[in-house]
Structure 1
Amino acid sequence: MIIGIDLGTTNSAVGVFRDSKAELIPNSLGHNLTPSAVGLDDNGDLLVGLPARERQSTHPKLTTSAFKRYMGSRRMTTLGRREFSPEELSALVLRSLKADAEAYLGEPVAEAVITVPAYFNDKQRKATRRAGELAGLKVERLLNEPTAAALAYGIHLLEDESQFLVFDLGGGTFDVSILEIFEGVIEVRASTGDARLGGEDFNDLLIRAMRNTFTDDWKLKLGEEDALHQLLRAAAEKARRELTSQPWAKMEIVWRGKAYEHAVSADDFDTLAAPLLERLREPVLRSLRDGEIRTDALNEIVLVGGATRMPVVRKAVTRMFGRFPSQTVHPDEAVAMGAAVQAGLKARDQALKEVAVTDVCPYSLGVGIAEHDHAGHLHHGIFSPIIERNVAVPASRMNTYNTLQDNQSVIEFEIYQGESRYVTDNISLGKISVPVPRRPAGEVTADCRFTYDINGLIEVDVHIPMTGEKHQLVIVDEDGPTGADLEKQRKALEALKAHPRDSDANRAALARASRCYENFLGDKREHVGGLMREFEGALASQDNRLIDKARGHLLSVLDSLEGETWL
């Protein structure tokens, strides 16, 4: 059985294609979305999803989220006494989704299609693949999120030639892709984006606004910064969601036993968001330029990602294109649904007609060179693209280079990914050194060929025509473990003790109640404390009927006090 997974910044989801359709798989709480949050409880046991997210503001040193933003980096997160890499944290989320799928389907799951932002670079893609392996999954394919969204939209079912622009603004990343369908082929014409722009950045606007209001009140002591930030982060997320349907919202927190309130209107938020909205424009314009497509040639603009629910974003998209975008796909679930369709295509499900899904190389790939200017001065560290961005993959391209110095014995090719003219501003992927015969400068040439496949595997082949020698380099992630080290890392993650799935609902309810108790004062706090005593008593009874009743009552009261739980 092969499943499709949307590994998101804020929420993740898993789906499967069966009985002639794609469907999402609910988690142990019955939700289609699982918060991408990981934490440890007070005993050091693992928490994933909603039980972890509900503890983030009350236990910031034991809980983390939004780690997708750091995929491919060496950033480490400390939870309790242990450090985790971004891919290890992602692996724990993937492992939880895998367990949900196995419980739902009643059979083992070993393979998955996992989605990634179209603008993820090589290191980020390799880290995502490694996260899947750490979770015990064979990653059949990394699928770009806008392409997955297009499959969810159903463009693979269309008969006529059509062109679509997918505008995907999620919790932490922004992607724009232009797709064309013709004769059973879905071709990505262009993909651009911003891997550091999403709903979290809009939250930060509200956080800064409230912090500026209470600067004099909040003189922080050592170790308090993260605790305050997580309280503000939760309040900002709630307020931003309220502003999608209301003209104003109120951010409320309790800090050091005192209640603080900050009101924000939709107009205020629109003003604050103006710089971020401007950042949305350039990737859209670049995608149209690279795809050589006019806006009036687009059949539809498809919105995807939870952050596109914001009216300020929808208004900005409408202004960009001079028409209203399509809102027919579920912004939070479309990518997982599309991943499930791709899983069905991989499994050659008979309900799916033969569809070829092509993609593009999201970044330019090339080597660092030196070159002379008109005055004869030599400049090092110049980027020479070999495969340019938005070339359809699989792709193979070659450039020829020559020696620069007399009696040069080696040509060293350093491989980079990026768009800057200078290699220092691009991402280094590796290097290959090739021996050459000693000759006068310029006499010896080297043919350097780059090959890039559908899964993002990069091969570099260098041929020296003078000697006939050939050398090859397959780009691997030098920062990540492989082989025995990867297996050791996987077993270390497996050793983390996790409570049974059937206790998730109770743990999430208690974590939410604890958060509310800390964030309320007076009668509300006392009321929540009483409900917690009642629920803890029911848990001690081990009577499932009594526990379910007490949990339902607790959650109902919390909904009335703070609004329903958001995902």
Structure 2
Amino acid sequence: MSAEDTIIGIDLGTTNSLVSVFTEDGPVLIKNALGSFMTPSAVGYSEDGTLLIGQAAKDRLVTHPKLTTARFKRYMGTNHEAMLGKKKYRAEELSALILRSLKDDAEAHLGHAVTRAIISVPAYFNDVQRKATKAAAEMAGLKVERLINEPTAAALAYGLQNRDAETTFLVVDLGGGTFDVSILEMFSGVMEVRASSGDAFLGGEDFTDTMMAHLAEKADLTLDKLAAEETSRLRAVVDTLKHRLTEGHEASANFVLKGKDVPLTISRTTFDEITEPLTKRIRLPIQRAISDAGLKAENIDRILLVGGATRMDCVRGLITRLFKRFPEHDINPDHVVALGAGVQAGLASRHEALDDMVMTDVAPFTLGYETSTEISPNVFEHGHFSPLIERNTVVPVSRSHVTYPLQKGQTEILFRIYQGEAPFVKDNVKIGSLSVSIPRNTKDYEAVDVRFTYDASGILEVLTKVISTGKETRLVIEGNPGTLSQAEIDARLKALEGLKIHPRDQQENTAFMARLSALYESLLGGEREMVREIIREFEGALHSQDARIIADCRQRLEEPVTRLENKDVF
């Protein structure tokens, strides 16, 4: 395959992001400069104004919360801005920096430039959020060949193992910030999505937030009164406890506040009780997906767990109880979406190893337009939602309606396009509008055919045709709330290009120093002095500017640093 044909697969996650490529041996994950497959979705500034991306930024979330940010994926497609120092960033710009870092890693691995990508998104991302993801990719210098729903990508990774089987998958994808569930069927080399559902504001981070509020209350801590750095350190401790509960029935740690130890302890039983409202929110999308697919629970052959948050016992227990059998997690839940995106990249580039593989998808939301209902002669109730493409319709798809003006003699019809499931448009998401001119006709109602065409990348085309004249009007959806225009994308791309970003080949050293700083902040007494000496030793190696000396020093210090990090004192 030529360099021009290479398409990479990217899992742009709330907590971590990964990149892959399809090879003769199947999808392969690509390591970053630190030798890890997972790049934390975090961005920050160092003291000298250099931008840090990934692990180096994540390690400074605790010590420099005002100069670092994470979890910005949830704000994609909104006007929300994160403040880093004195500069504001939209979620698209921050995501673009993560994507650029992944692009650099792929180019270092492949040995040539990469400009094309498949990017995974939550199945329940709406039109605005999908457009924001594409804008982020464009700022990162990537052309999006296709956006693939995360559960679909996961099923691709699993389905590739036995593409001739006839299997029905249920994919439960609970990541850091979003929850998706999809039902897919595999038969004769065809992977067909039957139904998708989910919750774009439910993820592992919500479980951490709930647990932090509970432990703070038990310890008589008022979260609103804690400084940003203290809140960040507390959250790091709570996140560690949450992870430990996946291995034991109880977890404990000490949180150091103003020089005093604050003991924190929680049992798995208590954790399950306080997060029960969250686990209840997992049930409804699963039930809706099964219903939309026209199936029953016993028709599901395989249940796949995807996303790091599915490691929680409360989630696995819920799925086991619902289906009365254990779900599968043979592939690392953190890796499976990126691997599936790599498979889709192979399909998009028509890799010879995938010639007999076909992929179909569905519309995650119902698409329609606003209509009015006559409740009495010449009295109309406005704001009704008229569906044209129902959710979970196989895409690409094209559907049409014939509609009429409210009154004779009317010269214009305004089509307001919405996405959602509610009967009234006020409860759905407006994604565009189109004004259609019609002949002035006082004898009859002019008929207008409106056609929606929706493709696998989430692109919607609206085409109207005035029946009497044959005049057609196409809709180019613009001006969605929170969506960047092309001019804004170009301007922000130019600004990002001028940023001083830390060189990829120095990321190991930057990340290690950030770890040392975070460790120093969290310890007291003699252990803090130990870290001070380690910092001095590593700084001495850095001043030598000899890559071999620096690498040897870093390797030698790894063991004592890791030992101190694993203590229950922060």
TM bin (shorter chain): over 0.9
1:561 aligns with 2:564: yes
Q: Which residue of 2 aligns with 1:304?
A: 306
Q: How does 1:40-189 map to 2 (within 5 A)?
A: 40-155=45-160, 157-189=162-194
Q: CA deviation at 1:11?
A: 0.4
**251-260 or 394-403, which deviates more:** 251-260
Contact 2:415–2:434, Cα closer than 8 Å, also in 1: yes
439 and 252 in structure 1: CA distance in 2 versus 1, 3 angstrom threshold: farther
Q: Which residue of 2 aligns with 1:522?
A: 525
Q: 2:368 aligns with which of 366, 369, 382?
A: 366
Q: 2:209 aligns with which of 204, 209, 216?
A: 204
377 and 477 in structure 1: CA distance in 2 versus 1, 3 angstrom threshold: closer
- 1:202 aligns to what SS in structure 2? helix
440 and 286 in structure 1: CA distance in 2 versus 1, 3 angstrom threshold: farther
Q: CA deviation at 1:435?
A: 1.8
Contact 2:255–2:264, Cα closer than 8 Å, also in 1: no
Q: 2:513 aligns with which of 498, 510, 515?
A: 510
- Give the Cα separation in 2 of the matches to 1:149 and 1:218: 37
- 1:408 aligns to what SS in structure 2? coil
Q: Which residue of 2 aligns with 1:537?
A: 540
Q: 1:498 aligns with which of 501, 506, 509?
A: 501
- 2:225 aligns to what SS in structure 1? coil
Contact 1:450–1:461, Cα closer than 8 Å, also in 2: yes
Q: How does 1:434-473 map to 2 (within 5 A)?
A: 434-439=436-441, 443-473=445-475
Contact 2:223–2:231, Cα closer than 8 Å, also in 1: no
Contact 2:412–2:436, Cα closer than 8 Å, also in 1: yes
Which residue type is aligned with residue 551 of structure 2?
A: D
Q: CA deviation at 1:154?
A: 2.7
- Give the Cα separation in 2 of the matches to 1:25 and 1:348: 20
- Give the Cα separation in 2 of the matches to 1:252 and 1:444: 73
Contact 2:176–2:308, Cα closer than 8 Å, also in 1: yes
Please give the per-residue CA displacement for 1:361-410, whole angstroms capped at 9, x wherever unaligned: 10011111111237975221111111110001111111222222343221
Q: Which residue of 2 aligns with 1:551?
A: 554
441 and 161 in structure 1: CA distance in 2 versus 1, 3 angstrom threshold: farther
Q: CA deviation at 1:441?
A: 9.2
- Give the Cα separation in 2 of the matches to 1:372 and 1:7: 47
Contact 1:155–1:181, Cα closer than 8 Å, also in 2: no
- Give the Cα separation in 2 of the matches to 1:432 and 1:371: 20
Please give the per-residue CA displacement for 1:205-253, whole angstroms capped at 9, x wherever unaligned: 11101221244566727xx2x3333222211211111110011112433
Which residue type is aligned with residue 176 of structure 2?
A: G
**348-357 or 4-13, which deviates more:** 348-357
- Give the Cα separation in 1 of the matches to 2:222 and 2:147: 48
Which residue type is aligned with residue 166 of structure 1?
A: V
Q: CA deviation at 1:439?
A: 3.9
Which residue type is aligned with residue 269 of structure 1?
A: F
Which residue type is aligned with residue 107 of structure 2?
A: E
- 1:450 aligns to what SS in structure 2? strand
217 and 436 in structure 1: CA distance in 2 versus 1, 3 angstrom threshold: closer
- 2:275 aligns to what SS in structure 1? helix
- Give the Cα separation in 1 of the matches to 2:157 and 2:25: 14
Which residue type is aligned with residue 510 of structure 2?
A: R
- 1:44 aligns to what SS in structure 2? coil
TM-score by length of 2: 0.95
Q: Which residue of 1 aligns with 2:229?
A: 227
- 2:364 aligns to what SS in structure 1? coil
Contact 1:87–1:128, Cα closer than 8 Å, also in 2: yes
- 2:60 aligns to what SS in structure 1? coil
Q: Which residue of 1 aligns with 2:269?
A: 267
Contact 2:407–2:445, Cα closer than 8 Å, also in 1: no
Q: CA deviation at 1:413?
A: 0.6
- Give the Cα separation in 1 of the matches to 2:148 and 2:554: 39
Q: CA deviation at 1:289?
A: 0.6
- 2:401 aligns to what SS in structure 1? strand
Contact 1:69–1:172, Cα closer than 8 Å, also in 2: yes
1:340 aligns with 2:342: yes
130 and 334 in structure 1: CA distance in 2 versus 1, 3 angstrom threshold: same
Q: CA deviation at 1:62?
A: 0.8
Q: CA deviation at 1:476?
A: 4.0
- Give the Cα separation in 1 of the matches to 2:364 and 2:62: 36
- Give the Cα separation in 2 of the matches to 1:397 and 1:545: 63
Q: Which residue of 2 aligns with 1:36?
A: 41
Which residue type is aligned with residue 81 of structure 1?
A: K
- 2:343 aligns to what SS in structure 1? helix
- Give the Cα separation in 1 of the matches to 2:75 and 2:181: 20
**555-564 or 227-236, which deviates more:** 555-564
- Give the Cα separation in 2 of the matches to 1:219 and 1:91: 32
Structure 1: tracts of 5 or more residues without a match: none
Contact 1:123–1:477, Cα closer than 8 Å, also in 2: no
Q: Which residue of 1 aligns with 2:423?
A: 421
- Give the Cα separation in 2 of the matches to 1:393 and 1:52: 39
Please give the per-residue CA displacement for 1:56-88, whole angstroms capped at 9, x wherever unaligned: 111111111111111111111111121111111
- Give the Cα separation in 1 of the matches to 2:414 and 2:257: 57
Q: CA deviation at 1:429?
A: 0.8
Q: CA deviation at 1:564?
A: 9.6
- Give the Cα separation in 1 of the matches to 2:479 and 2:70: 24
Please give the per-residue CA displacement for 1:458-483, whole angstroms capped at 9, x wherever unaligned: 11111221333221102245454454
TM-score by length of 1: 0.95
Structure 2: tracts of 5 or more residues without a match: 1-5
